[in-house]
Copies of this chain bind each other. A is one copy, B any other.
Amino acid sequence: MSHAAAKASIGDSEFDRDTTVTPRAGEPGVYDAELSAGWTIITAVNGGYLLALVGRALSAALPHPDPFTVSAHYLTSSVPGPAVIRTEVVRAGRTLSTGQASLFQFDESGAEVERIRVLASYGDLAALPDSVHTVAEPPAMPAYEDCLGAEAGPAPIPGSNAIVDRLRLRLDPATAGWAVGAPSGKGEMRAWFELADGRDADPLSLLLAVDALPPTAFDLGLLGWAPTVELTTHVRHRPAPGPLRVGIVTRNLAGGFLEEDAEVWDSANRLVAQSRQLARAPR
């Protein structure tokens, strides 16, 4: 979708359609969903997209609307097609509630196979006081127009990646060297992030944003799949309209595993999400 196309709105966009969850009649807390082929990397469904889907189911199941902290353990690779999300209300408190959810797909015999399991605490971002005391700084990166979009040359992720068409990612040139065989070696990845149809960010799309950039391992010269073992995201503020800035760093690659620490900043210069994942290093 080009920049000139009509801007999609929250509730009526590719992301919203592809994260629709349908309550199953007679089974409270159970939601049917369809994993879209639009959010795949090679053949695997993106982990952030999955998390947003599960996050939407929990938002429906819990008494509070917004994810505050979401911990996901990835069990088996997801593929496009039908899925079911089973939720449980673990605790419903006054300002926070905690839920659990699992997303399943189906094997040849129709038996459920668990893809990810999630524990999450939800609250109401709009009810929080607006006070901020932060020493965090937005990622140091060039202006939007000086970063590299997909049109700049090589696909941001090698191979056939449908997700590239769903996102308007513009990579900081300093962290894009791997695409031309010259990774910086620092383990950093920075990009401007928007949904391709222009839908503004909301707390659910932040769950996608934290896991939608190329892996930091690429910037270490390790071009391969870095499967997520666990990903925890804190949503700290409701994002303002406009492009997000996402900065990710890996400080410690050891024993075949690495962490990815992501920060997401909105157009109002607020730190809106923080995440950390443990991933296997590419072999």
Contacts of A153 in B (CB 8 A): none
**Beyond A128-B257, A236-B252, A254-B271, 9 additional pairs, beta carbon < 8 A:** A71-B73, A71-B119, A90-B117, A119-B119, A119-B230, A128-B255, A132-B254, A134-B251, A234-B278
Complex Cα gap A118–B232 (Å): 13
* A109-149 contacts to B (CB < 8 Å): 114, 117-121, 125, 128-136
Using known A-B contacts A134-B254, A186-B135, A274-B252, determine if residue A117 contacts B119 with beta carbons closer than 8 Å: yes
Interface contact A71-B254, CB-CB below 8 Å: no
Whether a CB of chain B sits under 8 angstroms from the CB of A172 is no
A168 at the B interface (CB under 8 A)? no
Which A residues from 45 to 77 make CB contacts under 8 A with B? 68-69, 71, 73, 75-76
3 closest Cβ pairs, A-B complex: A128-B255, A71-B71, A69-B230
Whether A91 sits at the interface, judged by CB under 8 Å, is yes
A 75-103 binary contact with B (CB < 8 Å = 1; else 0) = 11000000000000011000010101000
- CB pair A131–B236 under 8 Å, yes or no, is no
Q: B230, A257: Cβ atoms under 8 Å? A: no
Q: Is A247 an interface residue (CB 8 A)?
A: no
Per-residue CB contact flags for chain A residues 220-258 toward chain B (1 = under 8 Å, else 0) read 100000000110101011000000000000011111110
A183 at the B interface (CB under 8 A): no
> When A129-B255, A230-B121 are in contact, do A90 and B114 touch as well, CB less than 8 Å?
yes
Complex Cα distance, B271 from A186, in Å, reads 18
CB A165 to nearest CB in B, in angstroms, measures 32
Whether A229 and B68, one on each chain, are in contact in the complex, defined by CB atoms closer than 8 angstroms, is yes
**Are B69 and A90 in contact, with the CB atoms below 8 A?**
no
Residues on B with C-beta less than 8 A from A134 are: 251-254
Does A256 contact B186, Cβ atoms closer than 8 Å? no
A276 at the interface (CB under 8 A from B): yes
Known contacts A236-B255, A255-B130, A229 near B121 by CB under 8 Å? yes
User: Which one of B91, B232, B234, B237 contacts A114 once the chains associate, using CB atoms below 8 Å?
Assistant: B91
- Min distance, Cβ A258 to any Cβ of chain B, angstroms: 8
In the complex, what's the smallest C-beta–C-beta distance from A126 to chain B, in angstroms?
10
Distance to closest chain B CB from A265 (angstroms): 11
Q: Is the CB of B76 within 8 A of A91?
A: yes
A106 → chain B closest CB, angstroms: 16
Closest residue of B by beta carbon distance from A98: B73
Chain B minimum-CB-distance residue to A76? B91
